[in-house]
Amino acid sequence: MSISDQLIRLLNLLADGQFHSGTELASVLDVSRSAVWKHLHALDGLGIELVGVSGKGYKLQRPIQLLDRQQISGRLESRAKALISELEIYPAIASTNGYLMQLAQRSQATGRVCLAEYQTAGKGRRGRTWVSPFGHNIYLSILWRYQNGPGAIAGLSLALGVAVARALSRAGVQEVGLKWPNDIYWRERKLAGILIEVSGESGGPCHAVIGLGLNLYLPEQQAETIEQAWVDLRHIMGDDVMQQRNRLVALLLNEMLPVIADFEEQTLRAFIGDWRKWDCMRGKAVSIYIGEQAFTGIVRGIDEQGLLLLEDEQGKQRAFASGEVSFRAT
């Protein structure tokens, strides 16, 4: 889906959350009133909620903050800034992960960061679609190259879960939890997800694209297709969080980039202790699905390799390297 420069200009005018008359918007944009109406109608299709009042004009249901390269860069710490070769922001893209995976195939780029206001085909785990309304959340991907093959970055998703938990804690979010292997939770509801796609030689150079989707505000209409319990930062912290998107992106990059860059040397061992501190599954009854098979039991944490430990009704523990985990009512 193409998003015109005029539509972005219109959003910048409306971003303050105040009423703006159709005449004012037409004058600033140098278009007709009917063109303004068409643009406003297009916003509705992007999941942006509008309020129209006769005699007052139009405003956003909630103010938004569009992503801004300068605002993000100005908040980056020196280490993170040095690790970024290029930071790109797109009004709309099929998938930030998909874009960087394609880029990795045709170049030797590394340290590339891609953000989008809107994804038409956002990627979740196991082929799911990540719900991606315009301007409400954070859709972030990072491309990085490694020298020693995919095996050398086993456990990277767990380490990045720690990085995201640290960033959210610095932003003032309390009760952050990590759900194995790559979800960030709040009170047993999903707040963010990590998706890592790796390609390359088994024992040689490879590249990884690390994607993060973080819910700031999910309108109910757009969230209807989500099949699991979810939460957004607006619910946790209030409407003000919508004005902190650029700050949050910078906090995430400050924590994630050093972990990504140093992981081959540090390995998962450096993050096991912190992961266990944020573990929201330990002691909980869960079901683990692997294909058509289901395993039930009580989570006993993770081992030193990051495998999930599940204790069944007979008291026997089993370690899992992968699987889909769901909480069970007890």
Are 10 and 29 within 8 A, CB to CB?
yes
Give the distance, in angstroms, between the CA of residue 140 and the centroid of all CA atoms in the same chain. Answer: 6
Are 232 and 215 within 8 A, CB to CB?
yes
Please give the tally of structural domains in the chain: 3
Would you list which residues are annotated within the binding site for biotin?
95-97, 119, 190
Catalytic site residue from 123, 166, 190, 245: 190
Burial class (CB within 10 angstroms; exposed 0-12, middle 13-18, buried 19+) of 273: exposed
Catalytic site residue from 62, 125, 170, 284: 125
Shared-domain flag, residues 207 and 82: yes
Indicate the pLDDT class of residue 140, thresholds 50, 70 and 90.
very high
Indicate the pLDDT class of residue 45, thresholds 50, 70 and 90.
confident
pLDDT at position 225 is 67
Q: What is the pTM of this model?
A: 0.90
Shared-domain flag, residues 41 and 184: no
- How far apart are alpha carbons 242 and 252 in whole angstroms? 16
Q: Which of 60, 84, 102 is the last residue of a domain?
A: 60
- How far apart are alpha carbons 52 and 122 in whole angstroms? 30
Catalytic site residue from 33, 79, 269, 328: 328
Shared-domain flag, residues 129 and 147: yes
Instruction: Assign residue 227 the CATH number of its domain.
Output: 3.30.930.10
The share of the chain scoring above pLDDT 90, in percent, equals 65
* 266-300 tens-digit pLDDT: 999 999 999 999 999 999 999 999 988 999 999 99
Among 108, 62, 61, CA closest to 85: 108
* Residue 26 structural domain: 5-60
Among 110, 113, 322, CA closest to 205: 110
Shared-domain flag, residues 222 and 294: no
Average pLDDT over residues 123-146: 78
Shared-domain flag, residues 191 and 254: yes
Shared-domain flag, residues 271 and 138: yes
Shared-domain flag, residues 309 and 160: no
- How far apart are alpha carbons 277 and 166 in whole angstroms? 11
Q: For residue 145, what are its two tokens?
A: 């190259």
The reply to whether 81 belongs to the active site is: no
Burial class (CB within 10 angstroms; exposed 0-12, middle 13-18, buried 19+) of 330: exposed
* 58-77 tens-digit pLDDT: 998 877 899 999 999 999 99
Would you list which residues are annotated within the binding site?
95-97, 119, 190
Shared-domain flag, residues 163 and 263: yes
Average pLDDT over residues 313-321: 94
- How far apart are alpha carbons 101 and 208 in whole angstroms? 8
Q: List C-alpha distances in Å: 75 to 16, 85, 110.
A: 22, 16, 21
The reply to whether 190 belongs to the active site is: yes
Shared-domain flag, residues 49 and 129: no
Q: Which helix (H) or strand (E) holds 111?
A: none
Are 222 and 131 within 8 A, CB to CB?
yes
Residue 130 has pLDDT above 60, yes or no: no
Strands 112-116 and 86-90, bridge-based pairing: parallel
